[in-house]
Structure 1
Amino acid sequence: MAVIDQIAQPAAPRRAKGPRRSPGRPPWMGTPSPTMQALKVAAIAMIAVVMLYPFLYVILFSFADAGSVTSGQLIPTSFSSAAYESIFAGGVVTRSLLVTAGITIIGTLLSLLFTSTLAYGLTRTRDVPYAKSAMVLVLCTMFFGAGIIPNYLLIKQLGLLDSYWALILPGLISAFNMIVMRNFFMELPSELLESARIDGASEFRIFGSIVLPLSKAVLAVIALFYAVGYWNSFFNALLYINDTTKWPIQLVLNQYVVQGNAMSDLQAPDRPAPPAQTVQMAIVVVATVPILIVYPFAQRFFTKGVLTGAIKG
């Protein structure tokens, strides 16, 4: 009888070969085949090479010696640090780096302070008079601008020409960043803020002791946006700064690399001049690497602060 029962039972359907996936899940969520995995790895590796090669090219040729540059090699075979020694001994690049670092640090801190306070004030539409009207004015700045000439005349009338404040004050508050921060503040649990008010905490105490600690994620993102903007800004310096000793690094990069001004002004007079191409590449590296170092530190705050403030009422 056992043999008859086994014969009567239908044969189990054979599993089709191919990517394994759970029932009801779309095909792209299943486990890909080895061939598909190999194709994905090859595609990602090709994209990485295409994106990293220009940066590696700049770094390698910034350390190349004169022989590798004049021979037209695709990848230099002999290296030298003469370009970096020359531009740092010349003083122009070192001074411009200090100027840019100061503008970036001070500008980012001030921008965070004013943006966060404005964003928090605009969340209190019931308590702050004309908060909705102020919000409309902020939104208008995203679509309408005064233009270069009115801005220049305003900076001139304020006496800020050839001043570092001319590189900070015009971009002190970004309307987009303020809206992002305001929306984040509005998502914070209102019960927590109301309980603090019932306990007698002032708005400044609530803002400094509750709102800001719960907003580390958005503060890190906005701080990175502002820092990158201040570091990479050169157009304001081109308009408002006539004193070459106050030029930021990006304006030096624009004048001597993009515009092709004489490279002898950047180099130490008592040193043999390295090839102009290596000096240009060295300035590009010096202007790019410092802001890249900030990203790993900001990424730590991104991942740490994503779930901060997820309190259920």
Structure 2
Amino acid sequence: MSPANALVTGASGFIGTRLVARLLSEGRRVSALVRPSSVLPAEWGPRVRVIACDDFSDGNLRRLVDTPFDAVFHLAAYGVKPDHRDVGATLRINVELPAVLAQLCSEWRARMVMAGTFSEYRSPTSQNLVTEESALEMRKLYGSSKAAGGLMASATAHNSGASFRLLRLFKVYGAGEAPHRLLPALVTGLSKRERVAISSGTQVLDFVHVDDVIEAMLRADAHAREKGGIATWNVATGEGHSVREFAEAVARAMGADAALLGFGALGMRKDDEPWLVGSPDLLRSELGWQPSTGLDAGVRAAVAELRRA
């Protein structure tokens, strides 16, 4: 039997590059659907088929993707970068593309694993763990569009009989994050022994190490292959840590003076959540998944990897 053939969208991103590396290590054949401007790891070489695409419409994808796949890992999204605020692009990539891929999966008899986000949930009114049944975001553009995309893909898969898993990822961190994000900004500044401007750090979030996220994705894919059907799961630890705690953990891992952490030097962003922690119970019961990396250990590993790089 030939190795499973997987398509990964968003393969050039933080999580995507880790996922592709893991799939390759397991002997999977991998194709990456990316924008022509994307920079991919040189070590992938000819092992990864690259499908360059700027037009993610149904017709164009059918033209470019001429080989059916066994599995699709959909990680591409629009709105994570600070300058990604175009409403049209948000609708095309976050809302329409997931449904197109779900329809293609039904025709290929493939299964689909989609990366959602904790931003799909409405800000909770109490400090109860957010479950898969919690209210979804309706006002913020990124969170609402991601929620709509997940719902459309789920409905399309249900209507066509495709196997579909939506994983709502909580605050994923690790080496490889974009430079503007908290971890790399802290490591860059503290490495130079410079004061790092950050917010007051009172936001309490559910930090999940990227390697635990990759494990959840692979288990979800295996579950979809074996069981079929449709499911939505949180990928969360169930434990809240403040941004201040996270920053202090980075400083400890680097042996840096915590006085260099400029808490309050930046204002809160309008989309910052004061408290958002997810329940992992459903994923644990269905897949036996639980996070294997605590915050301090995960931060130490990420800092060490960033320093080596």
Per the normalisation by structure 2, the TM-score is 0.21
- Determine which structure has more spread, i.e. the larger CA radius of gyration: 1
Q: With a CA cutoff of 8 Å and minimum separation of 6, indicate the structure with the bigger relative contact order.
A: 1
Of Structure 1 and Structure 2, which has the larger fraction of its residues in strand?
A: 2
